[in-house]
Amino acid sequence: MDTPTQNPRANSTRDNSSSRGGDRKPGGRRGGSSFGRPKPEFDQKIINIRRVTRVVAGGRRFSFSVALIAGDKKGAIGLGLGKAGDTALAINKAVRNAKKNMVRLKLTKTMSIPHELSAKFSSSSVRLLPNKGRGLVAGSVIRDVIKISGMRDITGKIVSNSKNKLNNAKAVMAALMPISEKHAKLVMDLPVVVIDGKEVVVPADTEEVKS
């Protein structure tokens, strides 16, 4: 009885595949660092991204415009805009701009707003109302802003018919202005004393030295 002949090419292919598979680590990963990416300082949410065109002498130049909100879910929120030829660069610019414009909200103990707020920006009008125990009742960009800032028990409504997300977000930020303050205090606001020819910033809680 004849024995079936084996294909040497198939054997070599099987050996190569087994050798490649042996280099892999358990879990389907091929090595690399075991440490994950560092957690960002602020949570981000892109609310609008669009391609814009600028007409120049040589033709048209295309770039991307990004609008996003950033917050720490502990009462800090900021709106930022960025424009660049690449999407990643535009997002980085928007993040830096959002950190620059970030404000700290004066919320209640339950992380809600103390009273009703409303504002109008361009053709957008919004209203924010506290609702104890009902949770977050809002949609569109209002919901994104409230979630990123960490607020709770709030009802939000877009009063106007505007569908522009950027204008709606700016209207929400304008409505929050009465209960907001700058996120980072400027060092220049603190008193400065010159000691031995060097300027030293005096902390606010430092007691005066009696002469």
| pLDDT tens sequence across 21-60 | 445 555 555 555 545 667 777 889 999 999 999 998 888 9
| 139-188: pLDDT as tens digits | 889 999 999 999 999 999 999 998 999 999 999 999 999 998 876 543 34
**DSSP structure string for 65-129:** EEEEEEE-SSSEEEEEEEEESSHHHHHHHHHHHHHHT-EEE---TTS--SS-EEEEETTEEEEEE
Residues 43/145, Cβ–Cβ less than 8 Å: no
Residue 127, phi then psi, degrees to nearest 5: -135, 140
pTM over 0.85: no
Nearest CA to 91 among 71, 62, 64? 64
User: CA 160, CA 135: separation in Å to the nearest integer?
Assistant: 23
User: CA 145, CA 177: separation in Å to the nearest integer?
Assistant: 13
